Every structure is written in structure tokens, then in C-alpha cells.
């Protein structure tokens, strides 16, 4: 298949052309997941919002995105399995919606004028009675609701659990009941355990063995034969419920102490992922004997405006984000996804520090800022990719915050301006050479205010900085050539949005300003570009990814500047008696992506399936309302659907930058005479695949 993709793509370079510009393309990252085991397909499904809702699947070793497959709801409350029907359900609110995933697509099962659920509601699905159970705290106190697939019922009995939020609720398959554990009652953490049989609540224990917990992860473990519980408290013990007795699970290793983790089955055990207290996005798996870390699954950095600092580490090829005081000193790293770390050396937490890449020592440099007691700092630190290294230069700038910092054309880092402890603007220029600071006195002294953005143009050997001069209504553009500053341009307010982060873009060979609009610096003026689809919030940075030669706009989500975004676009409709098979993309069609695949959801387990690829698109009637969308076909792949009715065709894309912008068309078909309208097969819609960023 690699050879087929290469053949199709390289040929198409001469015939397909380059798609229209779409300057900012999102780089999807899982975000905080809702997780549910999809038993029919033996994968763990995760939904995470990183600017937009994304749908991911965990197969036990890899987290793969299903492109454009997220459910329609916005404010998600719960995601869980409906095992008897082979579905996954998602509950969202405002308005209240229940959506279901059948392995092919998300569909809104019902939009209801039902209970006003929210963060105080716990959910579980009763597999035996096929009911969705909700324990809710509202204006009427504790209430118990059930949904039968068409309507809600208020089944609140006279006796039951008291008011609380953060209670764990899960279906216990070993006893055919829903079990509720713990929660927070106005600051009192509870340890009571209750069972719901569809009619009444019965208290199992008033003070159960796991102890007081709120926000614990709980799920049924087939290998333990009972409900498994972890988290929701500072202790790191694992428990499971057998009958009416909680039994400790003895392990030699334990995950971190977590609040609100997701405990869910995966193909090889019980997966624990997420939760407050998790600093690196590493998931853990209980394999029946012990807990084992299984690698980074997701991480969500904490962005806090100008309190955050963002820089690209050229030595290690990754974005470094320091969250400041509000992130409790956490460092987040991004290469294609986020991961977090707690450095071994604890640099005193601070906001509004100056940060830049220093070529002199090939490390990130950080200076100054302001700490939690409002003390303005004047210390110097390096980030070596793993931890912070304190530096002790013989000379140093005075304490300051919001200083301009940028990679210097002479090597090292330039530092300019900033606010001193008395809130005065500092008219000072300093240079870091990898060992020491030295003050410079250039002939021209720019008017650069604190908080100014700057970026090095490595081709011209020029630092470009934009600042609003005092109370003036315009913006000045200054350049530093390593010897002196010069005022390069003045711009009215309407021409350049102030406060926009600057970065060098290799594809455009220019410094760009990524604000409400995209602008390029020609060396004498700013030229306006296309409208940015999402304005930049203060403190979210723009950096140059020198490894992939792309400009990144760092926020939620991370976006990259590209003229060739990767895309998957549906063409036409499928053809079948009843629901047509669904054709979908698995992960993004990007150069070097070994996970990219096309999948046909066949509606028929174990069915023979095939996919046709071609150079172009042309609607050709096949009869009975069926249409082929592939013109000039060049290859066909055959397969057999799984027991879960999916047929996945792996199509790893070669790591060849020349493939960017190449497009081809594909379409699937399934041998399914009972549903066929033509020739014994059912047909999917077409899919136009564009390889890009």
C-alpha cells in the first residue's frame, strides 16, 4: 500500500494541483478525555476537547484519531458503553442530548426536554435492564432518573444516598446492579456505598474500606470479577467490590494520587487515564497482577495569558511552555502532542518572565519575572530539555518583568526593556553570551514598551520587534541587526493589530504577525494576509518549528501555518437498502504518518470489502441511484470485515515533503446481497484525500 500511495501521489503532483490556501490548520491533541470501552470493536473510545471536540481510539498501544467523527454535543457530562446493543452513549447538556456511536458514525438518539443535569450528576448504564441511570442533585435534593431509550422517568425512592457531588457510579455486572460510592457533601468527603436495583437504593456500607473519596474512578473489571476503584483521594490504594465487601488489590506499583481520573477497560486490562494531579499525561494499566505505565496518552497545558511563557527548543525540536504560578511550575512540551513534566530542579514559580532560545549554549534561557509574593526577580535559568539549571553570571540585569527577549543575531539572547519593581519602564539593552550578561549601549535607543513581542529572522540576521510607543495610536516596528536598532516602519492602529505574537515563517521567508489578521514583514512594511480564522488571545505564542519548517500558533488547539492543510472531504452519498456503509479516515493524511488508514463500516460482520483509489473525481451513475466517484482508478485493495463490522485498510504515507498538496479519491464497497441495490454490493460515499499538514 505504501507503493500505491507513493505512485498515486507522485503522479497526482502533475495533475491534481495544490488546494486553495487555508493558512491555519489545527494540530489535534486529545485533551482531557471522556472514556468508554467499545466492546463490539474491542477498543477504548476517548472524546477530548482541544478547541474542538475530537474522537480518538485506544487499541491498547496507540491513540488514533477518527477524523470528523466527534458527537454533535458541546457540554459533555458522561460517555459510557451500551454493551447489549454494541453502542457507546454520550450525554451532553444545553440542550440535553443523548448521542450514540455504532462504530460507523455518531447520531443524536434523542433531544429531550428532560431533567436539567449538570456537574452534580453521576451516570451509569444498566446492561441487564438496558437503562441509563442518573443520580442527580438538584433543587429537589437527591433524585434518581432512568432513560429507557425514549423517555426519562423520575424513580426517586423515599430512602437513598444523600446530597453529594463527585460520586462514582457504575454498573456491577457480577450482581446486576448499579453501585454508587462516596462523593463530596459540602466539603465532607464521604465513604458510603449504595446499590440501585431499579426500584430502591440499598446501603451496602456506611463506611466502606476504600475510605472517604470524591471524584474516584470506578469501572467493572472482568479480570477481578467486580467493580474496581482508584483515585479520588490522596492515598494510592486500589480496591474492588465482591458482593458487599470491598477488598484491597495488592500491587507493587501504583499510579499517582489522582482526582477525577477515568478508569475504563482496554483490550489488555483496566486503563487509568487523566485526572487532576496527573502532570505528564501518562496512562496506567492494571493487567491482573500489577499497575504498569503504558505511555503518554494526553496532556492539557494550562494557559494563563501573559503569565505563560512559550518558546521553541531548537536543540530538542519541541515547544516548551512554562505555565507560571497558576500552573504550579509545570512545564509542558509539544512535538506533535502535548506531554507534561515536573522538573527535578524546582525553579521558583513566577509569572511574566522573559524566555528565548539561546544558540550560545544550545538551551532555552529564562530571566526574571514576578513571584507569588509580588517580588520582581532578576535570576537566570537554562532549560536543558529535562530540568531547570540555575545560572550564576558575574553580571546581570536588574530585576524586571515583561522584558523583551529574543535570539540574538550574534548568538545568545538579547534582553530589552521591562518593568522594574516600581513599575517603571527600563530603557536598557542586555546581551547573554551563554555564560554572562553584558549591557550594550547602541547609538539608537528604541521606544519599546514592556510585553513587546519580537522574533529573529535568521536569513537576514535581524530581530524584528513591534511596540506601541507610549500613548500614540499607532505601532512602531524596530529592527536590531546585532549592532544597532533602527526604526523601520510606523503603522496606524488599523494596519497592524498590536500585541500579536511574532515568529519567523520559513515557507514565507519572513517574520509574520499572527494576530486577528496575518501579516508578513517585508523589511520595510507589513503586508496584510488572509483573515485568521481564530483571533489570538494574549499570552499565546507563535513559534518557529525549525524541524518541520512550520510556524506554530500555540494555544488550544495548536495551529500551524500552512498553504496545504491535510483534509478528508466526503463526496456524494452511499448506496444501500437501509443505512449505507460509512467510509471514514483514520488519523490525518500527513507525510510520515504511519497510522493513516481508510475504514469501511460495513453493517455486516465478516463481509468481503474493497476500496478503489484513483487520480480524480467524476460522478458516474452505476444504476439504481448508485454512483461511482473515482475517476481513472489505479488500484484496489481487498479485505474482510471484523466481527465488529469494520474493514480497515492501512495506508501509511511516505515521509516525503513533496507529497504535500497531493489529492486522490477513494471509495469503498461491501459484498452484501441482502442490502444491495446493484450487483450484490453496497457502496460508500466517495472520499477526497488531500495530503498536507
Task: Among 13-27, 336-350, 648-662, name the most confident range.
Answer: 648-662
Q: Residue 166, by phi and psi: left (phi above 0), alpha (psi -120 to 50) or beta?
A: left
Q: pLDDT value at position 368?
A: 97
Q: Is the pLDDT of residue 670 over 90?
A: yes
Q: Do the beta carbons of residue 339 and residue 332 sit within 8 Å?
A: yes
> What average pLDDT does the segment 78-83 reach?
94
Q: Tell me which DSSP letter residue 524 carries.
A: S
- Return the higher-pLDDT residue of 376 and 151: 376
Average pLDDT over the chain, rounded to whole?
A: 87
Which helix (H) or strand (E) is 230 found in, with range?
Answer: strand 226-230
Report the predicted TM-score, pTM, of the whole model to 2 decimal places.
0.83
Say if residues 82 and 128 touch (Cβ distance below 8 Å).
no
CB 447 within 8 Å of CB 470: yes
C-alpha cell at 506: 520559513
Cα 283 from Cα 302, distance rounded (Å): 19
Average pLDDT over residues 143-148: 95
Angstrom CA distances, 567 to 19, 22, 302, 485, 572, stand at 10, 11, 29, 43, 16
pLDDT over 70 (residue 469): no
Strands 338-341 and 33-38: unpaired
Question: In whole angstroms, how far apart are CA 481 and each of 341, 443, 477, 487?
Answer: 36, 12, 13, 12
Q: Whole-angstrom Cα distance, residue 434 to residue 361?
A: 5
Cis preceding-peptide flag for 362 (omega within 30 of 0) = no
Residue found under cell 512550520 = 550
Please give the pLDDT value at position 2: 46
- Segment 15-36, tens digit of pLDDT: 333 333 447 777 777 776 799 9
107 strand-pairing partners: 100
Q: pLDDT grade, residue 278 (50/70/90)? A: low
Give the pLDDT confidence score for residue 51 in this predicted structure: 65
Burial of 241: CB neighbours in 10 Å, binned 0-12, 13-18, 19+ = buried
Beta bridge partners of 334: 319, 338
Residue 265 pLDDT:
96
Q: Give the E-state strand segments of 232-337 in sequence order.
A: 238-242, 245-249, 262-266, 269-273, 282-286, 291-296, 309-313, 318-322, 331-334
pLDDT given at position 519: 85
- Asked whether the beta carbons of 436 and 393 are under 8 A apart, the reply is yes
Q: Whole-angstrom Cα distance, residue 276 to residue 261?
A: 7
Q: pLDDT band at residue 535, thresholds of 50, 70 and 90?
A: very low
Q: Rounded to whole angstroms, how far apart are CA atoms 324 and 302? A: 9
**Confidence at residue 530, expressed as pLDDT on a 0 to 100 scale:** 54
The pLDDT assigned to 341 comes to: 83
**Euclidean distance between CA atoms 257 and 408, whole angstroms:** 43
Cα(362)–Cα(374) distance, integer angstroms: 31
pLDDT tens for 229-253 read: 999 977 889 999 999 999 999 999 9
Least confident range of 44-53, 211-220, 358-367: 44-53
Q: Quick check: 7 pLDDT over 60?
A: no
- Domains of the chain are 2-19+565-690 (no CATH), 24-296 (2.120.10.80), 305-561 (2.120.10.80)
Region 314-333: mean pLDDT is 87
List, in order, residues 6 or more apart from 407 with CB less than 8 Å away: 356, 357, 358, 359, 413, 456, 463
Predicted local distance difference test score (pLDDT) of residue 72: 76
Q: Return the percentage of the chain with pLDDT > 90, whole number.
A: 59
Cell numbers given for 484: 544597532
141-147/131-138 β-pairing: antiparallel
Lowest mean pLDDT among 281-295, 305-319, 444-458, 462-476: 462-476
* Integer Cα distance of 532 and 22 in angstroms: 9
Spacing of C-alpha 541 from chain mean position: 17
Q: What angle do CA 295, 300, 304 make, to 5 degrees?
A: 150
**Is residue 3 helix, strand or coil?**
helix
pLDDT, average across residues 136-154: 92
- Give the pLDDT confidence score for residue 533 in this predicted structure: 45
Whole-number pLDDT of residue 539: 43
- Answer yes or no: is pLDDT of 379 > 50: yes
Average pLDDT value for residue range 544-558: 85
In this prediction, residue 19 carries a pLDDT of 37
Q: Please tell me the predicted confidence (pLDDT) of residue 297.
A: 81
Between CA 212 and CA 222, with CA 218 as vertex, the angle to 5 degrees is 135
Provide the grid cell at 69.
467523527
**Least trusted range by pLDDT, from 58-67, 159-168, 333-342:** 333-342
Angstrom distances, CA of residue 35 to CA of 55, 126, 505, 623: 10, 17, 38, 43
Q: Assign 203 a pLDDT band (cuts: 50, 70, 90).
A: very high
Q: What is the pLDDT of residues 291-322, one digit of tens each?
A: 999 987 888 787 776 677 899 999 999 999 99
The CA–CA distances, whole Å, from 445 to 414, 422, 480, 511, 512 equal 14, 22, 11, 22, 24
pLDDT for 608: 96
pLDDT of residue 53: 79
pLDDT reading at 224 higher than 60: yes
Is residue 471 predicted with pLDDT exceeding 60?
no
Q: How far apart are CA 207 and CA 561, in angstroms?
A: 56
Quickly state the pLDDT bin for 204 (edges 50, 70, 90): very high
Q: How far apart are the first and last CA of the chain?
A: 21
Amino acid at each position: 500500500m505504501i507503493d500505491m500511495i507513493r505512485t498515486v501521489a507522485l503522479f497526482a503532483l502533475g495533475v491534481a494541483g495544490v488546494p486553495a490556501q487555508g493558512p491555519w490548520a489545527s494540530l489535534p491533541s486529545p485533551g482531557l478525555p471522556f472514556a468508554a470501552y467499545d466492546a463490539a470493536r474491542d477498543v477504548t473510545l476517548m472524546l477530548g476537547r482541544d478547541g474542538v471536540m475530537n474522537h480518538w481510539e485506544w487499541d491498547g498501544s496507540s491513540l488514533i484519531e477518527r477524523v470528523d467523527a466527534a458527537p454533535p454535543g458541546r457540554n459533555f457530562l458522561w460517555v459510557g458503553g451500551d454493551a447489549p446493543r454494541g453502542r457507546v452513549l454520550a450525554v451532553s447538556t444545553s440542550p440535553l442530548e443523548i448521542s450514540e456511536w455504532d462504530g460507523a458514525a455518531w447520531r443524536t438518539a434523542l433531544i429531550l426536554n428532560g431533567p436539567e443535569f449538570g456537574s452534580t450528576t453521576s451516570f451509569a448504564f444498566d446492561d441487564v435492564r438496558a437503562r441509563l441511570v442518573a443520580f442527580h442533585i438538584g433543587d429537589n435534593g437527591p433524585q434518581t432518573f432512568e432513560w429507557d431509550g425514549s423517555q426519562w422517568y423520575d424513580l426517586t425512592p423515599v430512602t437513598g444516598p444523600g446530597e453529594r457531588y463527585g460520586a462514582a457510579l457504575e454498573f456491577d455486572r457480577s450482581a446486576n446492579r448499579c453501585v454508587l460510592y462516596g462523593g463530596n457533601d459540602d466539603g465532607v468527603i464521604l465513604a458510603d456505598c449504595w446499590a440501585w436495583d431499579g426500584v430502591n437504593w440499598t446501603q451496602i456500607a456506611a463506611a466502606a474500606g476504600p475510605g472517604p473519596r470524591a471524584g474516584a474512578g470506578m469501572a467493572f473489571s472482568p479480570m477481578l470479577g467486580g467493580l474496581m476503584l482508584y483515585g479520588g483521594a490522596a492515598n494510592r490504594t486500589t480496591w474492588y467490590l465482591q458482593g458487599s465487601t470491598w477488598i484491597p488489590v495488592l500491587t507493587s506499583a501504583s499510579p499517582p494520587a489522582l482526582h477525577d481520573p477515568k478508569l475504563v477497560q482496554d483490550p489488555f486490562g483496566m486503563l487509568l487515564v487523566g485526572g487532576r494531579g496527573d502532570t505528564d499525561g501518562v496512562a496506567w494499566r492494571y493487567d491482573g497482577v500489577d499497575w504498569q505505565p503504558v505511555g503518554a496518552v494526553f496532556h492539557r497545558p494550562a494557559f494563563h495569558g501573559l503569565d505563560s511563557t512559550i518558546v521553541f527548543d531548537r536543540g530538542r525540536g519541541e515547544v516548551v511552555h512554562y505555565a507560571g504560578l497558576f500552573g504550579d511550575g509545570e512545564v509542558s512540551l509539544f512535538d506533535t502532542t502535548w506531554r507534561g513534566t515536573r522538573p527535578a530542579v524546582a525553579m521558583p514559580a513566577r509569572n511574566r518572565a522573559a524566555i528565548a532560545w539561546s544558540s550560545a549554549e544550545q538551551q532555552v534561557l529564562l530571566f526574571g519575572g514576578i513571584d507569588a509574593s509580588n517580588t520582581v526577580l532578576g535570576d537566570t535559568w537554562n532549560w536543558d530539555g529535562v530540568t531547570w539549571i540555575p545560572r550564576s553570571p558575574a553580571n546581570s540585569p536588574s530585576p524586571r518583568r515583561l522584558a523583551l527577549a529574543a535570539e540574538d543575531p550574534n548568538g545568545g539572547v538579547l534582553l530589552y526593556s521591562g518593568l522594574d519593581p516600581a513599575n517603571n519602564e527600563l530603557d536598557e539593552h542586555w546581551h547573554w553570551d551563554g555564560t554572562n550578561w553584558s549591557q550594550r549601549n547602541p547609538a539608537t535607543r528604541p521606544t519599546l514598551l514592556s510585553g513587546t513581542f519580537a522574533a529573529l529572522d535568521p536569513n537576514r540576521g535581524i530581530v524584528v520587534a513591534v511596540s506601541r510607543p507610549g500613548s500614540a495610536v499607532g505601532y512602531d516596528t524596530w529592527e536590531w541587526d546585532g549592532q544597532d536598532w533602527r526604526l523601520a516602519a510606523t503603522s496606524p492602529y488599523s494596519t497592524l493589530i498590536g500585541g500579536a505574537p511574532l515568529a519567523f515563517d520559513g515557507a514565507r521567508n519572513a517574520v509574520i504577525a499572527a494576530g486577528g489578521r496575518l501579516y508578513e514583514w517585508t523589511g520595510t512594511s507589513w503586508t496584510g494576509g488572509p483573515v485568521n480564522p481564530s483571533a489570538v488571545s494574549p499570552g499565546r505564542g507563535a513559534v518557529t518549528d525549525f524541524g518541520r519548517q512550520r510556524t506554530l500558533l500555540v494555544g488550544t488547539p495548536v495551529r500551524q501555518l500552512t498553504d496545504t492543510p491535510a483534509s478528508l472531504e466526503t463526496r456524494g452519498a452511499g448506496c444501500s437498502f437501509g443505512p449505507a456503509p460509512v467510509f471514514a479516515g483514520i488519523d490525518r493524511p500527513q507525510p510520515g504518518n504511519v497510522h493513516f488508514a481508510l475504514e469501511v463500516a460495513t453493517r455486516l460482520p465478516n463481509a468481503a470489502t474493497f476500496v478503489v483509489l484513483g487520480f480524480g473525481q467524476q460522478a458516474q451513475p452505476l444504476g439504481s441511484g448508485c454512483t461511482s466517484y473515482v475517476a481513472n482508478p489505479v488500484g484496489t485493495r481487498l479485505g474482510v470485515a471484523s466481527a465488529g463490522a469494520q474493514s480497515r485498510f492501512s495506508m501509511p504515507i511516505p515521509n516525503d515533503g513533496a507529497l504535500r498538496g497531493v489529492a486522490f479519491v477513494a471509495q469503498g464497497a461491501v459484498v452484501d446481497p441482502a442490502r444491495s441495490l446493484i450487483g450484490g454490493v453496497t457502496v460508500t460515499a466517495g472520499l477526497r484525500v488531500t495530503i498536507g499538514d
